[in-house]
Structure 1
């Protein structure tokens, strides 16, 4: 039996020789494996410590509220009574926290009720409309205290409580996040509280009062019972989820997710500042460019149609560039060998057919106007004047975050777009991103010697790849060849085909690549990086239904997975784990600088810092990010590149 030397601290066996189902994440180079008998003892600093496991209460058998018991509660409208009723909760090991609010916008709506539940205690319902702020100290102390706080969709409550001057600190347990981790990418139900109660407890939870008027001066008994039940049932949910997380080896991943909840809530509350004047100028410029490109394209395409399109009066109708049949007919009449107008079909033909190139450029310009330029100002908040997106912490099955309303993670990297995002007066943006983190993870996972050595020697991997696939010396590599090598590196670690590589190169790097070129690059890449090739081949032979990241995050497939997904999951998922590990540490690390988290785009983290503390904040950000990476990667060094800027484009 063998163990992977990079994962030695976790006692993980090699998947290629009777593994423990840690599928596909080992190096398959023999010198990266050591005999099991040589395993060293696990240290507390390298894994979830005994203290952390105890805090998670994995083995604890607490007195959770029975499913058949009626939920008793005490309604508190008097601040003088608050200290007395909360006194028993201060010594609890775990409490549940829930809120009822007047709306969904934490920046303009208010909390009406805060509910606190604990085993063998009545649920305490606190009316924040009635209890004076100066008497809330006992509640504030409890929320900042040592008990583990159990919440459902914790980010929502964290933001409202923060705005109410009742921030939560300490250990959290989010039942929604726990359920998403347990599903591991195979989703068969929703993640609202009623769905989770049905799935994990086998009960129906009425949500009839959810949309009732929580701003009314007098709340009904039905509303109060609903509020109490929602809080109490969280304790029972957690008791069911704990052994499931343990059985699925997801305790460490759950702790990571719970630890970065506060940072994500902060990012959403802080938001990003958009220079509306500059953005409007950009919108006008983009619309003008789109219209010019559309006019030029119609002049090329219109004569090629078999017969001019006529209206009822016999007048020629202008070509509709959004009509696939019309565009396809024009392309075919111009001699372009294409059966449809999908991007995948068009990109390999762009180099040899100028009309195809012009069509792709037009579509890109039209998308820029439609998806970003016209819609983004609508998301500027009327109170803060900033954009506050909604980050989905478990947005992808790999564990990667997504973003919506608006999706700032899809803002093009072009300087004309990013220059419109600015800091507040007297502040600076501090922007850092990981250098080639997914390639570094792939190097570690595959054990590819050439790639690992390049990173250890601080070589430019893109230049190295360009030299290898072009059969040139490093000093002969041109800038355009290095740019093409970026697409090759990032695309082929996931075993893209030649067509997919050509599309990826154009979409992400603006590189035109013919199908023949893509095939040649692909062949030479795998000849150069044989460790990557062997890793791909081993995964392809097994096609496992489960994969894990280097942090043990799990992903399952109901049906036979695609090879690209099997390769993407451990790489992208480990990169996501690294970013989240950094986010979890940053609020405390940055506290003295006054810097605030304002956004993240996969491997990039953005701060807004006072001018005087921007430099120390930048050093802290870089240090925390690199330390987070080295928790996962043992042989490949991790680098974060940081900049202090007046706008997002200056990174």
Structure 2
């Protein structure tokens, strides 16, 4: 690579002119897969594209303006153009030209898996530095629409499927879950997609109902040919011949892990060459979907009017449907799950990328039970194989009829942020996790029976304890003893009366007048109340008994649980279902029910403190970005803050900080509106305090790899981060003597036995430290931390103590505070029009409307409406990529032993004679896969293995 003098030179050399596409699928896949990220220690990555600097590059990306320093004026509106929904969306861009350039040299270029340079500085350009060109919309050629379901493999179908390199695939099944799910026969009053009840439909069509779990319809698109096969009407040999034609092809569709599972359950030897899955693509390369939905809704508002109002359930414009989606996603957020936002369904992607509302009337599995199907059934099937192929191309800004080789070549890990995650983690791991589901984790009926008896006994004891403490609940004995009983209005009032009688304190009530009986509400209002403890024990025993019974039902056929596992969230982490194996309690007796078959053992290996290790790497990356920013502060995006009087001197430590820093945020609702300078002073004071704390912790502000960063140093030294936090907090409070050493140095001085004894002695403070570590990692407020500590870790503390603990934790680990600050102010904040779901009103980009953007360690872009979402998705998303990358890298024979996966824990059933060897090999693969990303920032990986006759972890 020649000398790079500017960003324009960089791009010119990087693209090297027109993109040359492989001529075939084989060439495309080879070029993508051979294009491995350079491994640590090699020189392959030097001069390659900066995975951060290419934050929005796509194949054919076009420079839209000079890469000038960012003249950002906070709280001022910006112009946003919105393309018609019929076009694939593009990112917005400022209209004004700017005259200066940001200088980018080869030293600035950082790539996932790149070896360390002497002084690397991970640096990122903003998403709005580049625009995705509008794709050429070309109508795909197709034959006449099919008029009936196919019941044989005719010559035309055989020829079309055989010749095609890409097949659009969709499967319809007669059961909601997996081939092992119990049959669910609906009542005759159940409605079908035609609008008729089951009874009406069967009578009208002279049909019968078959509720057996099975793959009923296989829909295939092959070039211009489309068809849907009714497998119930095909002989076994013809069915296997049809499925055999799918082998070795590229499959395109949505949530293809589901289709692959059902197809391989019938034809085990059938394997796709590659999956082009629009659900995975949306997560990997289109983080802007939610933002585009908001902007689309706001664009319908004219002259400050209220946004569009909701219409009937099945009526309304595209904008109204998008509005409903935002409301539903907001209402369904699970407070216990930081990554609870699910991946986007096909219907949402159709609204965004096709400007069409898909008919999902026949989505319910009941529709595929009748022996006779209608033309409406057929049209539904054809729609489900038509949309994904077009959506996938529009996501990558390709013409609708682009050859599959072009699409695969567009997934270039050096040009498309998120392509590494797709091609190295999501797609290959999804196939292996399908095989994991097919194998299933073994379940011991003997152990279940024993454990069920234990749980029932525990429930009986807890119930009697509840009734002895609150005799007034006796009339509700049966409901309290039922795992599915629920709380009626009468029972809620009875519990509230019992608590009032025992404590003299009223239960808080909702606006509706109903008592608040959630665990959080009760624990905070009635700490240490025996009735609450007894009821929690009762509910816990009943819940575990219900869960183990559910697992037993799903394992009824072969004594193995075949739960699905797929990339099902916007973070890129997996979700499980049918049944959900990822919420299995860590209770040892519960997990003992998952026992190995004769001659085998269960090996469980998980990453140690991976969420915290990734945060340490993200903090180190932010520190490197900050060092780069400070090389030319007046050209940075935050120059409006840094140009305030003496601010650079405060940040660089040349002047002592004024008393009272950091300054509290002003009240923007006050009569005298705060100025931009007021906000700049607040944010600048925060940064100056962070820099002070970094210096106090040993950072020399010279090199991101060698400077001491405490959070990273914890893992470099092999220490327990929660114990270090506990020691530091106790020392600050005067309750622990470190002998004059800094907490980190004190911990380093201890022997293994001394560290073990200290962990036992500080069990209570360590529990509090865990609340701080996991609670503050993504910027939880002091109020949130106070509630979190009580409800999740059983802490007894005051709000004032929570405030002090929060401030102390960020002083102890200032690089985490710097990561938060850099995301919020130095490139992660995107002005945007926003539809406020709670208030049903629009907020323009000049009225505080914004999204926050982060990046995983691989460079994949993530977005959220709140800062904590961008932080969380960066960390959790990296964790998902690492774990899935490890699954991808497993040797084939060991991958065949995989029977379970829970976020960052891999579970294997291994032959007894190979247990130790497999453990060593999996440990190596998992650590190497993690260090692909973590070692970029000098954070080590560590795993913990447990081997036994049952699932031990």
Q: TM-score, normalised by structure 2?
A: 0.54
Which structure has the greater CA radius of gyration? 2
Rate the CA distance shift 1:345–1:109 in 2: closer, same or farther, 3 A.
closer
For 2:917, what is the secondary structure of its paired residue?
helix
Matches within 5 A, 1:111-150: 111-120=215-224, 122-123=225-226, 125-126=228-229, 128-129=231-232, 133-134=236-237, 139=242, 142-145=245-248, 147-150=249-252
For 2:470, what is the secondary structure of its paired residue?
helix
Q: What is residue 568 of structure 2 aligned with on the other side?
A: 394
For 1:569, what is the secondary structure of its paired residue?
helix
Rate the CA distance shift 1:14–1:486 in 2: closer, same or farther, 3 A.
farther
The 8 Å contact of residues 348 and 513 in structure 1, kept in 2 or not, is answered as no
Aligned equivalents of 2:495, 2:439: Cα separation in 1: 43
Aligned equivalents of 1:252, 1:615: Cα separation in 2: 32
Aligned equivalents of 2:278, 2:576: Cα separation in 1: 21
Aligned equivalents of 1:97, 1:613: Cα separation in 2: 38
Aligned equivalents of 2:884, 2:279: Cα separation in 1: 17
Q: What is residue 168 of structure 2 aligned with on the other side?
A: 96
Aligned equivalents of 1:574, 1:625: Cα separation in 2: 14
The 8 Å contact of residues 98 and 230 in structure 1, kept in 2 or not, is answered as yes
Report deviation, 1:269: 3.7
For 1:163, what is the secondary structure of its paired residue?
helix
Q: What is residue 54 of structure 1 aligned with on the other side?
A: none
Q: What is residue 599 of structure 1 aligned with on the other side?
A: 901
Rate the CA distance shift 1:192–1:199 in 2: closer, same or farther, 3 A.
same
Matches within 5 A, 1:76-87: 77=151, 85-87=157-159
Aligned equivalents of 2:276, 2:433: Cα separation in 1: 15
Report deviation, 1:449: 0.7
Q: What is residue 541 of structure 2 aligned with on the other side?
A: 369
Report deviation, 1:19: 8.3
Q: What is residue 497 of structure 2 aligned with on the other side?
A: 326
The 8 Å contact of residues 77 and 127 in structure 1, kept in 2 or not, is answered as yes
Aligned equivalents of 1:19, 1:636: Cα separation in 2: 32
Aligned equivalents of 1:260, 1:59: Cα separation in 2: 32
Report deviation, 1:540: 5.0
Aligned equivalents of 1:260, 1:283: Cα separation in 2: 36
Match of 2:396 among 226, 237, 242: 242
Q: What is residue 28 of structure 1 aligned with on the other side?
A: none
Q: Does 1:284 align with 2:568?
A: no
Match of 1:632 among 933, 941, 944: 933
Q: Deviations over 1:319-357 (max 9, x none)?
A: 96775642563465279999976644654677xx643xx
Report deviation, 1:446: 1.1
Q: What is residue 568 of structure 1 aligned with on the other side?
A: 872
Q: What is residue 624 of structure 2 aligned with on the other side?
A: none
The 8 Å contact of residues 96 and 117 in structure 1, kept in 2 or not, is answered as yes
Aligned equivalents of 2:494, 2:50: Cα separation in 1: 56
Q: What is residue 806 of structure 2 aligned with on the other side?
A: 522
Gaps in structure 2 of 5+ consecutive residues:
1-5, 8-39, 56-67, 73-101, 116-132, 181-211, 294-321, 326-343, 399-409, 475-489, 510-514, 621-707, 739-746, 748-753, 830-850
The 8 Å contact of residues 571 and 876 in structure 2, kept in 1 or not, is answered as yes
The 8 Å contact of residues 595 and 614 in structure 1, kept in 2 or not, is answered as no
Superposition CA RMSD, Å: 4.6
The 8 Å contact of residues 77 and 130 in structure 1, kept in 2 or not, is answered as yes
The 8 Å contact of residues 95 and 235 in structure 1, kept in 2 or not, is answered as no
Aligned equivalents of 1:538, 1:336: Cα separation in 2: 42
More displaced 10-residue stretch of structure 1: 542-551 or 331-340 = 331-340
For 2:246, what is the secondary structure of its paired residue?
helix
Q: Does 1:384 align with 2:558?
A: yes
Equivalent residues, number: 593
Report deviation, 1:444: 0.9
Q: Does 1:610 align with 2:902?
A: no
Rate the CA distance shift 1:293–1:623 in 2: closer, same or farther, 3 A.
farther
Matches within 5 A, 1:269-348: 269-272=438-441, 273=443, 275-295=447-467, 297-298=469-470, 323=494, 325-326=496-497, 329-330=500-501, 333=504, 343-344=519-520, 347=523
Rate the CA distance shift 1:165–1:64 in 2: closer, same or farther, 3 A.
farther
Q: What is residue 857 of structure 2 aligned with on the other side?
A: 550
Report deviation, 1:277: 0.5
Q: Deviations over 1:259-301 (max 9, x none)?
A: 3222333344444425420331232133134224414543899
Gaps in structure 1 of 5+ consecutive residues:
22-33, 48-57, 303-318
More displaced 10-residue stretch of structure 1: 627-636 or 509-518 = 509-518
Q: Which is helix-richer, 1 or 2?
A: 1
Q: What is residue 105 of structure 2 aligned with on the other side?
A: 37
The 8 Å contact of residues 499 and 518 in structure 1, kept in 2 or not, is answered as yes
Rate the CA distance shift 1:179–1:526 in 2: closer, same or farther, 3 A.
closer
Q: Deviations over 1:191-246 (max 9, x none)?
A: 55555444432346555666687567776666556544543443333332322898
